[in-house]
Structures are given as structure tokens and as C-alpha cells.
């Protein structure tokens, strides 16, 4: 039986409802989160990549696939490729005037994504949350958030393997009287906190809930407030990281501070 991937499912939902902005946003969110296999002209040279670029009537496109087997099916023979996230690939291509051919001719999610759509995705994913300091005076059960936001958070946090022990969504009242919602992460390592804050913001953005907002905070398991989060909050368990593998080199794009270079 042919596998239906997350991108297949998101693409099908988008195609079934062409006027539904939320469905289109979810597809682009899955594209940014997914690991993609970029077809190259030659093996990667360190961080320098030389992608195959195809020119059609709609412009120039690189080819990427969400499974290695789909890339192999397309080429019909061994071919060099680089594995990197859709987030990194969109950043690499932004401003280059080059689009992406996704799963062309080998999957239900076959689609040409134009250069301006990739530029929008890159800009959206680059957005960093504002940092503020507020003291919480009251915690309560969360209420009033659309189900689409809850689902988006659940899906997004499922990709944050090993980033924190858990997250709790609660209602809050601050000392200044302001009310809102807070996503509290417990046991997050300092190095992952910025990524988790961005992930929460992206979940809200791609859920289509433009008017709402969710604050993010980080707590240790021993903090007194953690017991209240557990009592009142909607809990999200983050996946545990896989066992480390011994590898000979690092895949291009795996270091966010040193993205691959297109040649």
C-alpha cells in the first residue's frame, strides 16, 4: 500500500478546499517542517550545494521530494541529493527567483511552488517573537481558543523532539490586569527556548487565527508554578529524542547557523 505522507494529506486538504486559507496555511506549515530531499547535479561539497534547476514556462525550479524513495522513482537511477528541512530550503531559495517542484510526477502532492510563495514562507518562518517581562497573578483552565489553534499546537510540538519535557496551555491574568493565554514549557534547555517560542508563534500563524495571541514562558520542573500548570493546563507531551547515531559527517543544513550554499 502506498504511504500517505503528511505533505500528501495537507496537499489533498488544500486541493479539496481551494478557497480555504487555513488549509493552504497548513500545507505551507507542513512544507516548512518537513525533511526534503533536494536533487543535486553532483555530490555536496561541504556546505556548498549544486541543485538541479529545471526551466519551464512558469520559471525555474529545483526538485525536492519528501521521501528518498520518491526521488529515486523520479530519477530512475542513483542520483546525488541533500536532505534538509523545507524551512532551510525556502531560506536558501528566497530572493533567487527559483521555485520548487515538489514530488513531481511521483506522488499525490505533486505541485510547482513559485518563487514568490517560497519567499513568503521564508519571511514568515524568520519572524521572531517579541520578548516581554510580566508577572502572572492568576492561572486558570484555557478557554475561548479555536480548536484549529489547539490542533496546530499539538502538531507543531510533535516535531520538537527532545526540546522540553512538556508544555501546558493555560489561561492567565497578569498583575496589570491583562488577560490572555500562556504556553508554559517545562524542562526546556536554554538552547532550545528560542526555537520553541518560534514554533508556538508559527502554530498560531499557520492556524489562520490572525487576531489571537499566546504568550510563551519557560519553567523548571521544581518551580512552584509548575504544579499549577499541571493542575489547570492542557498538557502537550513532547516526543523524546531518538537514540543518538554515530555518523561520519553532518548533513548539509543541519546547522542552523551555517546553512548550505547554493552554487
In this prediction, what percent of the chain has a pLDDT beyond 70? 88
Whether the pLDDT of residue 244 is over 60: the answer is: no
H helices then E strands: how many in the chain? 8, 13
How far apart CA 168 and CA 170 sit, in angstroms, is: 6
pLDDT at 241: 73
Kindly tell me if the per-residue pLDDT of 263 is higher than 60: no
User: Which CATH architecture group holds 136-232?
Assistant: 2-Layer Sandwich (3.30)
What does the pLDDT read at residue 134?
Answer: 79
71 compared with 261, residue with greater pLDDT = 71
What pLDDT does residue 243 have? 61
Distance CA 38, CA 67 (A): 10
Mean pLDDT of 221-246: 85
Residues 8-56 pLDDT 10s: 999 999 999 999 888 999 999 999 999 999 999 999 887 789 999 999 8
Q: Residue 169: its pLDDT value, please?
A: 96
Q: Helix, strand or coil for residue 147?
A: helix
Q: Report the relative pairing of strands 59-65 and 98-102 from DSSP bridges.
A: parallel
pLDDT digits (tens, 9 = 90+) for 153-186: 999 999 888 899 999 999 999 998 999 999 999 9
How far is Cα 230 from Cα 27, in angstroms, rounded to an integer? 32
pLDDT at 248 over 50: no
* Backbone CA torsion sign across 100, 101, 107, 108: positive
Residue 224: exposure state from Cβ atoms within 10 A (0-12, 13-18, ≥19):
exposed
Q: Which three cell numbers stand for residue 179?
A: 488577560
Domain boundaries, the chain: 6-126+249-262, 136-232
- SS3 for 252? coil
C-alpha cell at 111: 505541485
**All cell numbers assigned to 194:** 528560542
Predicted confidence (pLDDT) per residue in 44-90, tens digit: 887 789 999 999 888 999 999 999 999 999 999 999 999 999 999 99
Amino acid at each position: 500500500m502506498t504511504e500517505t505522507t503528511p505533505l500528501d494529506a495537507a496537499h489533498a486538504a488544500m486541493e479539496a478546499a481551494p478557497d480555504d486559507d487555513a488549509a493552504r496555511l497548513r500545507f505551507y506549515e507542513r512544507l516548512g517542517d518537513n525533511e526534503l530531499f533536494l536533487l543535486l547535479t553532483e555530490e555536496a561539497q561541504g556546505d556548498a550545494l549544486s541543485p538541479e534547476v529545471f526551466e519551464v514556462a512558469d520559471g525555474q525550479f529545483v526538485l525536492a521530494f519528501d521521501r528518498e524513495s520518491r526521488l529515486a522513482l523520479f530519477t530512475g537511477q542513483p542520483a546525488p541529493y541533500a536532505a534538509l528541512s523545507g524551512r532551510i530550503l525556502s531560506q536558501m531559495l528566497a530572493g533567487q527567483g527559483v521555485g520548487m517542484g515538489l514530488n513531481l510526477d511521483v506522488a499525490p502532492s505533486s505541485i510547482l511552488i513559485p518563487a514568490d510563495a517560497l519567499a513568503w514562507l521564508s519571511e514568515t518562518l524568520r519572524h521572531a517573537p517579541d520578548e516581554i517581562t510580566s508577572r502572572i497573578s492568576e492561572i486558570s483552565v484555557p478557554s475561548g481558543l479555536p480548536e484549529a489553534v489547539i490542533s496546530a499546537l499539538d502538531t507543531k510540538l510533535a516535531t520538537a523532539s527532545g526540546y522540553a519535557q512538556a508544555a501546558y496551555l493555560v489561561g492567565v491574568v497578569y498583575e496589570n490586569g491583562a488577560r490572555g493565554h500562556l504556553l508554559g514549557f517545562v524542562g526546556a534547555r536554554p538552547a532550545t527556548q528560542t526555537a520553541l517560542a518560534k514554533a508556538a508563534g508559527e502554530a498560531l500563524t499557520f492556524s489562520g487565527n490572525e487576531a489571537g495571541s499566546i504568550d510563551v514562558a519557560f519553567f523548571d520542573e521544581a518551580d512552584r508554578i509548575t504544579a499549577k500548570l499541571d493542575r489547570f493546563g492542557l498538557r502537550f507531551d513532547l516526543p523524546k529524542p531518538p537514540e543518538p547515531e554515530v555518523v561520519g559527517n553532518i548533513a548539509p543544513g543541519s546547522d542552523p547557523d551555517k546553512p548550505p550554499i547554493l552554487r
